[in-house]
DNA sequence: ACCTGTCTACCTACTGATCGGTAGGTTGCC
DNA sequence: GGCAACCTACCGATCAGTAGGTAGACAGGT
């Protein structure tokens, strides 16, 4: 992948995670890279194409990190702790919320394909968590707990960013994991 | 409050909750009411003023509903059930997320005063929940659980809206309350 | 060694639509 | 006459997107 494409995806991802899809413009991205906005259209014909590429790359990166981080966990609580640490790292490394947390909030105003990609990201998160909850739990209870965990992570990032304190995220997650030790 | 102002606040709130602050324009609002965009400036000099008025009215309405709904609760779990039902009602009535959930996500790209008003909304939510948790819990644990509960509610609205199913919200909240019965 | 064609990675220059915002009417009620 | 509730008619900035040009690298043929 060319350097310019990578830098474009980086700038777009940062902008979307901080301010939202509609607050990111081709002109701003171009200016940040030192090129012209028409050159951005050379790589991404429409804004939707850029958005989709950002979500695709983000999805792959997050799931790769989740797979790696949870690889050697043995108990469900170890798995959850590792899972959560990937999100904690994402928040602290970027000082912004999850890309899909932002796009999920905006999804009614997004191109359909983009909204669908975000929904798929959420669903895959829920499925992965549910698959690693104790086998002794009924399937319905696992689905509920998995949804609860994803919702808490996403909401904790939003509230922590608004209150400008990563501790808010840690506080929410500490109680989440304390309650999950079933 | 004049009818036009109420209708403007309604239209702006709906637009922001569905698509975000930057996706709402004076022109669209005016068109929806059948007036001209310059007339919107007659009521709200700047977009920021409109945004602040929307958040103010929303904050008052939500806290009034929370106060009313939780008025006759006796146990912490009753309080939480009533608290959560206000958010459930907000989601189902509007088919969109919490106004402050959207603005909190976008807060890095918002006028400062607006971001501050949203942060205050979150903080007040946390304080109210914490104040109604069992007195037997240490203050720190109450703060953590309260943050956890607000984060779950906000995240559950986002994920449910993205996955286009209110059941997602119910699933997350059912597990949240099941774990909260301490 | 020199021309020729093709390709990538941009560029200039522009379009029509839309943005928030302003100046200065007009209309109808009290 | 004065005021509230609009209006027309703009402004300059910004938006996504398009048309068509160019400079440089590389390849193949002669």
Q: Are A157 and A97 in contact (CB under 8 A)?
A: yes
pLDDT digits (tens, 9 = 90+) for B127-174: 999 999 999 999 999 999 999 999 999 999 999 999 999 999 999 999
pLDDT at residue B2, rounded to an integer: 82
Eight-state DSSP code of residue B23: G
In this complex, which of A20, A115, A178 lies closest to B109 when CB atoms are compared? A20
Residue of B nearest to A148 (CA): B172
Neighbours of A45 (CB within 10 A): 10
- Sorting pLDDT into bands at 50, 70 and 90, what band is B180? confident
Residues sharing a CB contact under 8 Å with residue A163, sequence separation 6 or more, in sequence order: B119, B122, B123
A-B interface: how many C-beta pairs under 8 angstroms? 173
Chain A partners within 8 Å of B144 (Cβ): 171-172, 174-175, 178
Q: Are B104 and A104 in contact (CB under 8 A)?
A: no
A window 33-92, beta carbon within 8 A of B: none
Chain B partners within 8 Å of A148 (Cβ): 152, 156, 171-173, 175-176, 179
Q: Return the sign of the alpha-carbon dihedral for residues A75, A79, A80, A84.
A: positive
Minimum-distance nucleotide, CA of A36 to C1'? C11
Domains of chain A: 48-180 (1.10.357.10)
Please provide the average confidence, as pLDDT, over all residues in chain B: 97
In this complex, which of A101, A148, A155 lies closest to B175 when CB atoms are compared? A148
| Cβ contact, residue pair B144, A175, below 8 Å | yes
Per-residue pLDDT of chain A (182 residues; tens, 9 = 90+): 689 999 999 999 999 999 999 999 999 999 999 999 999 999 999 999 999 999 999 999 999 999 999 999 999 999 999 999 999 999 999 999 999 999 999 999 999 999 999 999 999 999 999 999 999 999 999 999 999 999 999 999 999 999 999 999 999 999 999 987 65
Q: Residues by CB within 7 Å of nucleic chain C, which ones?
A: A 2, 4, 30, 34-36, 38-39, 42; B 24-28, 37-38, 41, 45-48
- CA–CA dist B182, B171 (Å, integer): 19
CA–C1' gap, A138 and D12, in angstroms: 62
Kindly state the average pLDDT of the residues B36-63.
Answer: 98
Residue of B nearest to A14 (CA): B108
| Cβ contact, residue pair A159, B171, below 8 Å | no
Strand D bases within 7 angstroms of protein beta carbons: 4-10, 14-20
CA–C1' gap, B37 and C29, in angstroms: 24
């Amino acid at each position: 992948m060319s350097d310019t494409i990578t830098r474009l995806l980086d700038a777009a991802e940062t902008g979307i995670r901080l301010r939202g899809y509609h607050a990111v413009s081709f002109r701003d991205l171009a200016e940040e890279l030192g090129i012209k906005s028409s050159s951005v259209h050379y790589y991404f014909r429409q804004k939707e194409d850029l958005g989709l590429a950002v979500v695709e790359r983000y999805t792959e990166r997050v799931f790769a990190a989740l797979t790696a981080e949870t690889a050697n966990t043995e108990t469900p609580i170890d798995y959850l702790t590792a899972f959560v640490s990937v999100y904690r790292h994402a928040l602290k490394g970027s000082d912004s919320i999850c890309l899909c947390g932002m796009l999920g909030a905006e999804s009614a105003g997004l191109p359909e394909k983009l909204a669908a990609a975000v929904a798929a990201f959420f669903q895959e998160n829920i499925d992965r968590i549910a698959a690693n909850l104790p086998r002794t739990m009924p399937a319905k209870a696992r689905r509920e707990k998995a949804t609860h965990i994803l919702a808490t992570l996403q909401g904790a990032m939003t509230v922590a960013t608004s209150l400008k304190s990563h501790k808010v995220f840690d506080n929410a997650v500490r109680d989440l994991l304390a309650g999950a030790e079933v």
